[in-house]
Amino acid sequence: MSAERVFIVGSRGSRLALRQTELVLAELSRRFPDQHFQVQEVRTTGDRRPQAPLAAIGGQGVFVKELESALRDRRVDLAVHSLKDVPTELGSGLVLAAVTERGDMRDAVVSRGHRRLADLPAGSRVGTGSLRRAVQVRALRPDLEVVDLRGNVDTRLRKVEEGLVDAAILAAAGLARLGRLERATELLDTDAMLPAIGQGALTLEARVDDAEAIEMASALDHRDTRLATTAERAFLARLDGGCRLPLAALGVVEGDSLRLRGLIADQEGQHILRGEVAGSASDAEALGVALAEQLLAQGAAELIGEVPR
């Protein structure tokens, strides 16, 4: 490893993204104390249009495309992403050099009056910008009004405080990394609210021809998280989900075994298909495809065919 080289690390400019990059660099600096790093903020499409629905502005890749361009143009050497934001097809010439140990993968409820989801009065307004969260909230509480809520974590917390919504659903990992987890009324069990693919994990993306950056980043790769999210992302890829349909999955690795649960639904949540597979963790990708095939056999193909690209 060249101690003279300064690695430029690309990050979105949001407070959460910069905090996540800070955590990654702290771990890299601990392992490579003589190495120098510099953070380069990159503004993405998702950051420029914070109120627009993700599906309307390009889907899952809106938070990573500009970072990938910066990598290919050699303006940055590594890019730090939330894995859930990364499409299953990477940009040409790029690789996920590391998937870090997963944080809390659950979703959190933040509400006025510190009420749990089950205790919100009928008709309460619950905010989320996620189709996945919306359909699962409606399945749990069809008497609640689910409304669109975009913006960064602070914006969404403020909208709860101001009463624009009675509650919001956010990722527990993001709240924890910002030191705001005490704002959560409850953490939803994954049996009630399956998380997004890759939720809670961070990833470092590099150029395939930069062996030095890949070698360094790979020191942070976490076996169990890599295997679990490989299965989840294979499930997503086979269903060609992106942000067009509500889709969720969670892989759990225990030793050499992997259990994968998933769901897909129509946009209104009137039809929710769920499935589960288990097998060898070494077959992570095949398990993801197998779960997708299971849901396709239940009728997922019809749901996917109903949604225009």
**Alpha-helix residue ranges (DSSP H) falling in the chain:** 15-31, 45-48, 65-72, 131-140, 153-161, 172-177, 211-217, 223-239, 284-295, 301-305
User: Mean pLDDT over residues 109-123, rounded?
Assistant: 97
pLDDT above 70: residue 51: no
Q: Is 195 part of a structural domain of the chain?
A: no
Q: What is the pLDDT of residue 3?
A: 64
User: Mean pLDDT over residues 227-237, rounded?
Assistant: 97
At residue 34, the 3 state secondary structure works out as: coil
Say whether both 96 and 112 belong to one domain: no
Parallel, antiparallel, or unpaired for β 202-207 and 125-128? unpaired
Q: What is the pLDDT of residue 240?
A: 79
Say whether both 55 and 123 belong to one domain: no
Say whether both 158 and 216 belong to one domain: no
Q: φ and ψ at 49, to 5 degrees?
A: -125, 70
Rg (CA), the chain: 19
Of the pLDDT bands very low, low, confident and very high (cuts 50, 70, 90), residue 58 is: very low
Cβ atoms of 238 and 292 closer than 8 Å = yes
User: Mean pLDDT over residues 30-44, rounded?
Assistant: 93
pLDDT above 90: residue 122: yes
pLDDT above 80: residue 38: yes
Is 107 labeled as catalytic in the residue annotation? no
**Alpha-helix residue ranges (DSSP H) falling in 56-112:** 65-72
pLDDT above 50: residue 131: yes
Q: What is the pLDDT of residue 42?
A: 93
Residues 87, 199, 274, 231: what is their CA dihedral angle, to the nearest 10 degrees? 60
Q: Is 135 part of a structural domain of the chain?
A: yes
Of the pLDDT bands very low, low, confident and very high (cuts 50, 70, 90), residue 47 is: low
Q: Is 121 part of a structural domain of the chain?
A: yes
Residues 81-110: pLDDT tens digits?
999 999 999 989 999 999 999 999 999 999
pLDDT above 90: residue 63: no
Say whether both 144 and 58 belong to one domain: no
Mean pLDDT in the chain?
92
User: Mean pLDDT over residues 154-183, rounded?
Assistant: 97
**CB contact set of 292 (below 8 Å; sequence gap of 6+):** 234, 235, 238, 239, 262, 300
Domain, as residue range, for 38: 6-100+201-221
Q: Among 126, 191, 197, which Cα is nearest to 160's?
A: 126
Kindly report which listed range (140-149, 261-270, 297-306) carries the lowest average pLDDT score.
297-306
Amino acid found at 148: D
Q: What is the pLDDT of residue 300?
A: 92
Q: φ and ψ at 214, to 5 degrees?
A: -65, -45
Say whether both 71 and 47 belong to one domain: yes
Q: What is the pLDDT of residue 165?
A: 98
Kindly report which listed range (196-200, 242-246, 274-278, 294-298) carries the lowest average pLDDT score.
242-246
Set 85, 104, 166, 266: catalytic member: 85
Say whether both 112 and 93 belong to one domain: no
Q: What is the pLDDT of residue 60?
A: 54
Q: Which CATH number does the domain housing residue 125 bear?
A: 3.40.190.10
pLDDT above 60: residue 241: no
Say whether both 171 and 236 belong to one domain: no
Number of domains in the chain: 3
Q: Is 192 part of a structural domain of the chain?
A: no
The pTM of the whole model exceeds 0.85: yes
pLDDT above 60: residue 48: no
Residues 242-287: pLDDT tens digits?
557 899 999 999 999 999 999 999 988 999 999 999 999 999 999 9
User: Mean pLDDT over residues 144-152, rounded?
Assistant: 94
Kindly report which listed range (3-12, 32-41, 45-54, 286-295) carries the lowest average pLDDT score.
45-54
